[in-house]
Structure 1
Amino acid sequence: MKTQDTCFSPTQTLRCPGGRVLDLRRPRVMGILNLTPDSFYEGSRVAAADDLLRRADQMLRDGAAVLDLGGYSTRPGAGHISADEEKRRLLPAVEALRREFPAAFLSVDTFRGAVAAEAVAAGADILNDISGGTLDADMLPTAGRLGVPYILMHLRGTPQTMTQHTHYEHDLVLELVRYFREKLTALRRLGVTDVVLDPGFGFAKTPAQSHELLRRLPELHVLGLPVLAGLSRKSMVYKPLGLTPDAALAGTISLNALAVLNGARLLRVHDVAEAVQTIQLVSNTYSPISP
């Protein structure tokens, strides 16, 4: 697979509301702000409004290009919450960050169309959907109506069941490419033109499968779109080392460096300063693979 076969025009920029453009021609960092009490990494949980603003300010000062807010925990086996509860957690935070940091790019981590619509109305710029539209039939049409950039992730099952869906009949990366092609065709029909691909490290994938996917990340560049790598403190980092998420920063840095070398354009992380430094060193010293 050496030619770009996506139905999208290859682009490394995302057109956001207000005429702003997020440039991904070089790797950038997305900082994680979890508005949940049960996210897998305790250090990512935001406890109160002043904590949210403090953390967001620090992330932006450290070099984050995007702030990603989530109100629904997607760790393996996470408890299910209603759309109303997700909105209660998410919408005030979006409004507060848009008010305090008007120039910041804000992403919302949700798989629900109704939540996505209200979040964009509150000031969000980007939709980050872990399900690729599989958990809410209205999600992809909503993305089309809103006309904002869309992060398309690969997932099988749900956050509650995904650990039961790690068997792949065929080649793992080939299955991802097929999945993305089908979803991109559907998105184009709905008018979505600015898309980032997320292979979904750890989502319906064992640590070994996630490492294979990281090694083979350049194969996704056939689709001609920027790739997001969400590796931060995940089980593929800490389990092979016999550690916990709290002790997985060094491993995360190592894998983020590999992701950048393999052409990732957006690193979704808990630790922004370290990720920014990683990008600077890798990009200045080596020649990352170009999408």
Structure 2
Amino acid sequence: MAALATRPNRRVEGLPALDRCAVMGVVNVTPDSFSDGGRYFAPEAAIEHGRELLAAGVDYLDIGGESTRPGALRVDAEEEERRILPVIRALAGEGAVVSVDTMRAEVAERAVEAGAAIVNDVSGGLADAAMVPFVAAAEVPYILMHWRGHSVDMNARAVYDDVVADVARELADRLAHAVEGGIRPERIVLDPGLGFAKTAAQDWALVSHLDALHTLGRPLLVGPSRKRFLGSLLAGPDGEPRPASDRDVATIALAALIAVQGAWAVRVHAAAEAIDAVRVAAAVGDPGYLTREGNR
């Protein structure tokens, strides 16, 4: 794993500063999530799950109503809003810092009205030209992910000359577009998009070289949780990938390594375990962490 070439940036304007990598807990309000099979599709189940994640100590909740698993077809904006808005209203109303996971500006606008404080756009502004102008006007933090196309055919787009250099260049292009569109750079977080138009080998290359993405100067969110590349690594003797539900231990190990590399946040399903992992990473990577109040 490469050493850090630059001091990582973990400060996002509009959000509290932390002395460790943040943990973003996932709330999938979908019937076909690869990770939980629709366990939280009902609003009441999603709200209760959000409360459980908050009780475990997550810093942010990422609430989404459209599956982005490989091969998934899109739902319309009305259905996406129907799924997520009651959940956002309830959890934001209870004090949660909510991120809305959407590629649509109109859904993001409704979500922010309902209490969302962050927009997490896995398309990096490519799926909806209205997204960047909306985020600029709303003045909310914006998570901009590396993306090459919708889930239905994204696997065919996993062609790179050098995945680390290519992802860094394409993220830099999207970052420049967002800033030119009026979003303050201090409010932008970058995400390498593990599993999105990436093979397992390409995902491993990216998590091994986050230093190349730190040179872009913006905080990094990394989402390794239960992803296919972990399932492939942990395949059984028959070659079958380990099921998503059995990838949490590997996720937590990788979350600690990502945190040591200076990521701003990890996006995970197993919240309590991830919080332990990033605290361990902070104690290893920051000699002053243990001396600050509340960390011993």
TM-score greater than 0.5 by the shorter chain: yes
**Aligned match of 2:226:** 233
- Cα gap change, 1:272 to 1:43, in 2 (>3 Å): farther
Distance 1:216 1:158 in 2: 25
The structure 1 residue matched to 2:193, chosen from 200, 217, 226, is 200
SS in 1 for 2:215: helix
Aligned to 2:211: 218
The aligned residue for residue 183 of structure 1 is 174
Matches within 5 A, 1:129-278: 129-168=121-160, 170-193=161-184, 194-242=187-235, 243-278=242-277
The answer on 1:121 being equivalent to 2:113 is yes
Distance 2:51 2:43 in 1: 12
Secondary structure, aligned partner of 2:23: strand
The alpha carbon displacement at 1:66 in A equals 0.2
Q: 1:225 to 1:11 in 2, by over 3 A?
A: same
For the residues of structure 1 that align with 2:54 and 2:41, how far apart are their CA atoms? 19
In structure 1, what is the Cα distance between the partners aligned to 2:43 and 2:31? 14
Q: 2:51 aligns with which of 47, 57, 65?
A: 57
> Aligned pair in 2 of structure 1 residues 25, 150: CA closer, same or farther (>3 Å)?
farther
Change (3 A) 1:23 1:192: same
Runs of at least 5 residues in structure 2 that lack an aligned partner in the other structure: 236-241, 288-296
In structure 1, runs of 5+ residues without a counterpart are 5-9
Q: 1:26 aligns with which of 14, 20, 23?
A: 20
What count of residue pairs does the alignment treat as equivalent? 276
Aligned to 2:291: none
- Whether 1:46 aligns to 2:46 is no
- Pick closer, same or farther for the CA change 1:280–1:2 going to 2, 3 Å: closer
Shift, 1:42, TM fit? 1.8
Deviation at 1:287, TM superposition (A): 4.9
Partner of 1:87: 81
Report the alpha carbon displacement of residue 11 of structure 1 after superposing the two structures with TM: 5.3
Structure 1 pair 215/44, CA: closer, same or farther in 2 (3 Å)? farther
TM-score (norm 1): 0.89
TM-score, with length taken from structure 2: 0.88
- Pairwise CA RMSD: 1.9
| Letter paired with 1:176 | V
Cα deviation code 1:133-192 (max 9, x no counterpart): 111111111111111000010011211111011111x22111122112222222222221
1:198-233 per-residue CA deviation (whole Å, 9 max, x = no partner) reads: 000010000111001100011111112111110001
